[in-house]
């Protein structure tokens, strides 16, 4: 659990640092340009897409997943913005065994166009990069094990997404991407080849509620 807590602290610190950094940069820029009405340079992230809670369903070549995510905007420069999303993920690996589940945590950053809702339906596009880690509910023989015991799994990847802004508070999201799934020393331990350094493609659909 010690390694898990270190990773959780790292994710928390990264989010706080990004948020503080770009808030400070924007504040300084705003002081210098407060007399101007032109929306150029760094802009306030406190629009109607600043904070969100999302629910997603994902399917890839290894598993199906349900994600509950929490996100916020960390930078807005002209029409470009960066967002941070942290999600709790629960997955079922494609197999007949009822024991093959995963529970994980994913950190994702998106880079794309302005998605602020302006009174009509619009579509914003973005690219994203993510990494995740988590726990396996099964031993190499597919029997159950204590969820939080080693080994763990890791993922890294990226892709592209579309945010369909249907109202001030609601957005529908489609994402397409892929990456690498890894169980360290999984081959030596006897875990299935499909989860040891296995590439995957993934499609996700879901919604976000914005504050």
Q: What is the pTM of this model?
A: 0.79
What separation in angstroms does the CA of 50 have from each of 53, 74, 81, 84, 169?
11, 8, 11, 10, 11
User: Which secondary structure element, helix H or strand E, spans residue 3, and what is its range?
Assistant: helix 2-32
Whether the CB-CB separation of 83 and 72 falls below 8 Å is answered with yes
How many C-beta atoms lie closer than 10 Å to residue 40's C-beta?
A: 10
Tell me how far apart the alpha carbons of residues 99 and 139 are, in angstroms, rounded to a whole number: 9
pLDDT digits (tens, 9 = 90+) for 195-205: 988 999 999 99
**Pairwise CA distance, residues 83 & 51, whole Å:** 9
pLDDT tens digits, 104-152: 999 999 999 888 888 999 999 999 999 999 999 999 888 888 889 999 9
Higher local confidence (pLDDT), 23 or 48: 48
Could you give the number of structural domains in the chain? 1
The C-alpha atoms of residue 110 and residue 129 are separated, in whole angstroms, by 7
- Full domain range(s) for residue 200: 2-210
Give residue 24's pLDDT: 45
Q: How far apart are CA 154 and CA 49, in angstroms?
A: 30
Tell me the backbone φ, ψ of residue 40, rounded to 5 degrees: -125, 155
Give me the CATH number covering residue 96.
2.40.160.20
């Amino acid at each position: 659990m010690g390694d898990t807590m270190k990773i959780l602290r790292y994710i928390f610190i990264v989010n706080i640092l990004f948020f503080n950094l770009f808030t400070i940069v924007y504040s300084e820029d705003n002081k210098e340009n407060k007399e101007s009405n032109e929306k150029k340079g760094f802009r306030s992230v406190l629009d109607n897409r600043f904070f969100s809670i999302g629910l997603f369903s994902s399917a890839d070549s290894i598993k199906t997943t349900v994600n509950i995510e929490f996100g916020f905007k960390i930078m807005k420069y002209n029409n470009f913005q960066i967002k941070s999303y942290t999600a709790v993920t629960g997955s079922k690996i494609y197999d007949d065994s009822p024991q093959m589940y995963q529970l994980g945590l994913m950190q994702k950053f998106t880079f794309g166009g302005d998605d602020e809702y302006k009174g009509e339906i619009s579509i914003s596009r973005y690219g994203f990069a993510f990494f995740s880690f988590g726990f396996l509910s099964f031993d190499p023989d597919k029997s159950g094990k204590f969820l939080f015991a080693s080994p763990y799994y890791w993922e890294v990847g990226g892709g592209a997404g579309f945010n369909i802004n249907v109202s001030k508070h609601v957005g529908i999201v489609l994402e397409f991407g892929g990456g690498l799934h890894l169980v360290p020393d999984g081959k030596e331990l006897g875990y299935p080849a499909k989860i040891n350094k296995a590439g995957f493609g993934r499609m996700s659909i879901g919604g976000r509620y914005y504050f």
